[in-house]
Structure 1
């Protein structure tokens, strides 16, 4: 009986070892890291996409996705992580809970307002997000679209071919830009500001936008 228990202990230890990843962190974006040569999606959190914009307390648009990634890279890049595998996502990434210097990385990111609790998949960090939002720290100091909603909107635009950019100028003028026009490439769309994509010029005009002059 004792020998049988010992065998079970060895099997459990081997299973845990197979699910554990360790290594130096290379930050791909705020919630996606490379650890020990494997792409890891941090469990239970979601952070703004690299190209995502937000609105600050003064209603000015800023590149919150790039900022969050930069801050995470500065604070975690090169440090050693210990990660426990939980799943594999549809992109083939390992979904894992990671600790850095003994602290839960996901928890730290949510607590300081660099990421949100990914409530669709986990309830682990909801209380941390609620406290961060109440304190107005990090992203909660302004207005930000939930990353999963931002990605959903981008997929919808791509699937419909709706590539006309409905921009709102600093003077509040609603202007739509067609692909190929002079300022199309540099025009950024911020949904939190009320800007949007259109599928046709007629749709844009009906919504109150006018055509860009060049």
Structure 2
């Protein structure tokens, strides 16, 4: 048997107290929980489909939408390159700047981001609005849109050449694969 030196009593007491406190603290509301609401929150726009809680590193990925990446270009009919993500980012900043936001959190993704349907006092569903304006696409999982409503909004925007649909561009998931 190894002779290990005894821990100082103050260290042992501190460690025991820390373990007891940690055991009594509730887990975050979103840790494995079902849907829940985040009401009246302040957010920052990270990109065309992601928000961050102000004062936190917690990200909220907008459910059902896939926006262009920051480095992604699209081309006008005249062949001019334009940034593909800027319109979605600008719209989200307009809808969230100096406004309180509410999100219905549905789950978390594999990166630990909350997946939610978010709104402000002027926009009822950021994802739906981005897609309807042609600023982003309906998110697909295994080549199928995760929301029939969002897929329908995308088809309408596409048929009316709104936003991205008047440009030549790669779908965001194709662009990511090519990086």
User: Scaled by the length of structure 1, what TM-score is found?
Assistant: 0.59
Structure 2 Cα separation of the partners of residues 79 and 127 of structure 1: 29
What SS is found at the alignment partner of 1:83? strand
Cα deviation for residue 98 of structure 1 reads: 1.1
Match status 1:93 vs 2:110: no
Structure 2 Cα separation of the partners of residues 75 and 81 of structure 1: 9
Match status 1:74 vs 2:94: yes
Structure 1 Cα separation of the partners of residues 98 and 110 of structure 2: 27
Match status 1:55 vs 2:79: no
Structure 2 Cα separation of the partners of residues 115 and 73 of structure 1: 15
Structure 1 Cα separation of the partners of residues 43 and 76 of structure 2: 30
The number of equivalent residue pairs is 139
Match status 1:84 vs 2:104: yes
Match status 1:25 vs 2:46: no
Structure 2 Cα separation of the partners of residues 111 and 93 of structure 1: 24
Match status 1:122 vs 2:146: yes
Cα deviation for residue 49 of structure 1 reads: 0.5
- The structure 1 residue matched to 2:125, chosen from 96, 100, 104, is 104
**Structure of greater relative contact order (alpha carbons < 8 Å, 6+ residues apart):** 2
Structure 2 Cα separation of the partners of residues 51 and 70 of structure 1: 15
Structure 1 Cα separation of the partners of residues 88 and 118 of structure 2: 18
**Matched-pair contact (CA < 8 Å) for 2:43–2:52:** yes
**Matched-pair contact (CA < 8 Å) for 1:51–1:66:** no
What SS is found at the alignment partner of 1:125? helix
Cα deviation for residue 67 of structure 1 reads: 4.0
Cα deviation for residue 146 of structure 1 reads: 0.6
Deviations 1:173-203 (A, max 9, x none): xxxxxxxxxxxxxxxxxxxxxxxxxxxxxxx
Gaps of 5+ in 2: 1-32
